[in-house]
Amino acid sequence: MAIDYKKELQNAARNMIFTHDTDLLIKMIVRMAVNKAKITHASFFLYNQDKQGYLLTVSKGSLSKKVPLDLICIDKDDVLIRFFREHKNSFIFGREALVYEEAKAGLTSGKIKQETRQQLAQVLYQMELLETVVCVPSYFRDKLLGFLLLGRKSNGRKFLDEELDFFVALNSNVAMAIRNAQLFKELEYELDRKRQMFLRTTIALAAAIEAKDHYTHGHTTRVTSFSLEIAKRIDRNTRKTLNDKFLEDLHVASLLHDIGKIGVPEHILNKRSELTVGERNRIKEHPMIGVNILKPIKELEGPMLGVRYHHERFDGKGYPEGLKGEQIPLVASIISVADSFDAMTTDRPYRQALLKESAVNEIRSLSGRQFCPSVADAFLELCQEGKI
């Protein structure tokens, strides 16, 4: 049955739009070349910045058993690359594909300059070594991104013009899709780099808080660890899926939940005797001080909820706004339990740490009053399993 190459090209282009994986894109075109046109083998060489050359990325068919992937790399100054880069095939043979038989005939036609003839002879020799009868380059804005090598057709016949035109058009679409995939990957890398830098800055800020409050060394790290474990357990126990954005906001909020203590005098934070009412009120200001510190950073709008409301109580008797029940954001409710548990089990200037069992019992008894019941339940499960 005859292949409708126009329809195949449309289907391939449609699939490429949704593919941001370069290797997967190339596998698509190579698989299509072998399966649709019944070719003995097909391979694709893609430019690799690190190796400064064109690396064999995908190979399918008979040649793939002989040629190891990621080991064959054609130098960017190789004669085959120069030939494609200079577009000599397009004005010599009238199409953006180098067909072995046409090129071989062109060598003896007398219409090609001596310099070009020598270059073309070297190119044909390389094609013979790679058992290739057609080379199709992939250009993006005149930049050679890669090239497709096609072996002979299984039935031994020559490629029809419509088949060659199909591969040229397909490779043109692939070039655009590859460049889009590369840009997408570069964007992901840049975002991840900025995210890592942001997290390192956040950790540095958390360290600055702990340097001021000598008696809470390691508190931020522990609260962050407890909070993330509680969130994962809530995610497992309920139908409410906590997405990656929520977990990232929780991570950052946990690290920064006490950043407002930077604005509280050290003599209050490190006081060995019981705090006065005035001193206690100064400490109660730290959530809003933290909010004012973070407010200029738009990316911290999510984490700021944890910073602002981690001292609210489920019964509405907390601060700074006296929120009640479900009014309290989940990120803050989680930090509240983690923060309280660590505070109870840590030595403070004015009291010794509680035993873990006593602290767990305290959280159990305050579930539904100070703490959100679903968060407290998740915490208690983790304690029972020895994970906290």
Q: Is 302 exposed, middle or buried (0-12, 13-18, 19+ CB in 10 A)?
A: middle
Regarding whether 172 and 275 lie in a shared domain, the answer is no
CATH number at residue 130: 3.30.450.40
How high is the pLDDT of residue 136?
A: 86
- CA neighbours closer than 13 Å in the CB half-sphere of residue 115: 2
Regarding whether 249 and 176 lie in a shared domain, the answer is no
Regarding whether 234 and 151 lie in a shared domain, the answer is no
324 occurs within a structural domain: yes
> What residue has token string 């430019």?
47
| For residue 348, pLDDT beyond 60 | yes
What are 253-302's pLDDT values in tens digits? 998 898 888 888 877 877 777 888 888 889 899 999 989 888 888 878 89
Distance CA 145, CA 341 (A): 57
Regarding whether 132 and 26 lie in a shared domain, the answer is yes
Q: Give the dihedral sign, CA 99/104/110/115.
A: positive
Q: Is 79 exposed, middle or buried (0-12, 13-18, 19+ CB in 10 A)?
A: middle
Regarding whether 161 and 62 lie in a shared domain, the answer is yes
CATH number at residue 227: 1.10.3210.10
pTM of the predicted model as reported, rounded to 2 decimal places: 0.56
| For residue 240, pLDDT beyond 70 | no
* 156 compared with 359, residue with greater pLDDT: 359
CA dihedral 99, 101, 103, 107 (to 10 degrees): 180
The 3-state DSSP composition of the chain as helix, strand, coil percent (nearest 5) reads 60, 10, 30
Query: Which domain range does residue 162 map to?
Result: 5-184
The whole-chain average pLDDT of the chain stands at 82
Distance CA 314, CA 335 (A): 13
> What residue has token string 């008797």?
317
Task: Report the domain count for the chain.
Answer: 2
